[in-house]
Chains A and B, each alone.
Chain A
Amino acid sequence: MAVVAKRPQDRAAAAVRYTVLVLAALLFLLPFALLARNALTLDQDLNNPEWHWFPPTWAWSNLTDLFTNPELPMARSLVNSLLIAVTQTAGVLVLSGMAGYGLARIPYRWSNAVFYTITATLLIPAAVTFVPSFVLVSTLGWISTLRGLIIPGLFQALATFLFRQFFLSFPKEVEEAAFLDGLSYWGTFWRVVVPNSLGFTAAIGTITFIQSWNAFLWPLVIGRSQEAWTVQVALSTFLTAQSVDFGQLFMGALVAIAPLLLMFVFLQRWIVEGVERSGIGGD
């Protein structure tokens, strides 16, 4: 980009701006640097009062010890987290995508009433309903089961609302051509609408995946037994309740955020779009 000749005060302002940005960026990266450093530091070195930017001895053994530690069920909890996040993401996309399309496009006398019934739940903060939902799930006998961890999280009114807004702006001509070709609503949706909405679907999908992977309160309440722990619950249990090898615990945390950091590198565009859409309601 061509830079127009600048007056000295503009150049000074730019210098201040970059200084602030660089300092803030370093501050923002510091927790990640600490996480990586501590993950590769031996437990006894972590309490060394002498400051060091890099581990005194590189403790790659933390990684192998982490997965062989019988008290910290790391592999199991990673599998649980992955199963939950993948099925919840897929479930939310299918359920909310279909519901959003039906509300946006299929004429029905009670369509508005159904829409208001759905959006009314947006006023109730999800976390405040955790006590009533816990009561329901325990009545169903779903405590400490994958069903209990996954199914109640599949019905996201916000995702349905956003899909509806998106499909309202979908070009009608494309669908009309499909109807002329003899496709039903079902065929039109899956063969024409969905393939042309992959960007939006990716945006909602990445955000749902991140929320599901990082969720804490619900998995804490439902995943009572060790076999049902997600990776967040496993880390939290050892952070708050028991004394462990902290080098290993930091390595566990690094392993827990690694999938999301990878997603961030490759899918950042969709995550940004997902944040923009879900933050301001898509209008």
Chain B
Amino acid sequence: MWFWVFVGPFALGLVVFIYVPILWSVYLSFFSAYNTVTPSRFVGLGNYADMLADPAFRSSLGTFLVFAAFIVPTTFVLSLGAALLVARTRVMQTFFRSVFFLPVACSYVVASLVWKMSLFSGVASGVANAAIGLAGHEPIPWLSLTDPPWYWLVIVSARLWLQLGFFMILFLAGIQRINPVLYEAAAIDGARGWQTLRYITLPQLTATSTAVLLLLIVNAFQAFDEFFNILSTFGTYPPYARPPLVYLYYVALGRGQDFGHGSAGAVILTAVIAVVALVQGRAMRLGRED
């Protein structure tokens, strides 16, 4: 059976390392499971009720919403803008494209180090503080202040820098697929810069835009690396600004090793993200019909 010779090894691994853990986790979510993966005390939907009633869990969903509200529109607009600018550029096009794309090679850990200890370091030698110092402003402790919550600027700008190039490449690929005949026809009809953008380029990018929006939301939902590395100091994470995965990390893998509640949380988060994906896919498809 040649089919299974080719597909079998992958399919087997997928079952063992994806399906089994997920089903096991659903099973665990109905039990009280501290420090054990073979629990005996069945608690029904108790873990789910606990999670939904836990203010910390709900606040982690709130943190995700705030984060998404910042990062999704800014990345979308700026990566589209960068793609449009780069696409219209003849001289040094490859150079500009490479520069904006380069951070894709950088890890979130390394970017967090630069953002935390150099760009937005709270001391006067930090770059942001040196810059506002030129205007005579006192240094700001960017990360330890909650009012105003400057840490959002640090978190959001780090991810923006890291992922903008990735989405710019997607938009550039979309722009290159637009049939040049459309632009020629528009030029004959007397369309100018903004009109061409509004009536040709953007409508032709609908499929790309849908994919980009979905990826941005799903990626924001899974944010962990930059929150964990920028905000925790001396091994402790502040009680605020915990996105879902950071919260889950501390519940399931912290001192308690509470796999029951951790699994219930993972199931709830999976459901949330699946609903987001479905609703968004539906909404964009409806949008395309008119």
Contacts and interface: CB of A to CB of B under 8 A. Distances in A.
A111 interface: yes
Contact of A28 (B102, B222, B233): B102
A216 interface: yes
A128 B117 contact: no
B17 A239 contact: no
B260 to A, nearest CB: 11
Nearest to A155: B13
Given A151-B17, A155-B10, A232-B107, A250 B22 contact: no
Given A127-B245, A186-B5, A31 B114 contact: yes
A1 B90 CA distance: 8
Contacts of B110: 35, 232, 235, 253, 256-257
B114 A280 contact: no
A44 to B, nearest CB: 11
Residue among A46, A131, A138, A184 having the largest count of chain B Cβ atoms under 10 Å: A131
Interface residues of A, number: 97
Contacts of B107: 213-214, 216, 232, 256-257
Interface string A72-110: 000000000000000000000001101101110011100
A125 interface: yes
Contacts of A47: 123, 125
**Most chain B CB atoms below 10 A, which of A3, A239, A263, A272:** A239
A5 interface: no
Nearest to A254: B110
B21 A98 contact: no
Interface residues on B, range: 35 or more
Contact of A279 (B116, B215, B259, B277): B215
A99 B7 contact: yes
B119 A155 contact: no
Interface string B67-110: 00000000000000010011011100001101111111111111
B191 interface: no
Contacts of A236: 109, 112, 228-229
Interface in A4-36: 13, 17-18, 20-21, 24-25, 28-32, 34-35
Given A154-B17, A210-B105, A217-B224, 7 more contacts: A103-B7, A123-B274, A139-B37, A152-B17, A275-B170, A279-B215, A280-B170
Interface of A: 1, 3, 13, 17-18, 20-21, 24-25, 28-32, 34-35, 38, 46-51, 95-96, 98-99, 101-103, 106-108, 111, 114, 117-118, 121, 123-136, 138-139, 151-152, 154-155, 157, 160, 184-186, 189, 210, 213-214, 216-217, 220-221, 232, 235-236, 239-243, 246, 249-250, 253, 256-257, 260-261, 263-264, 268, 271-272, 275-276, 279-281
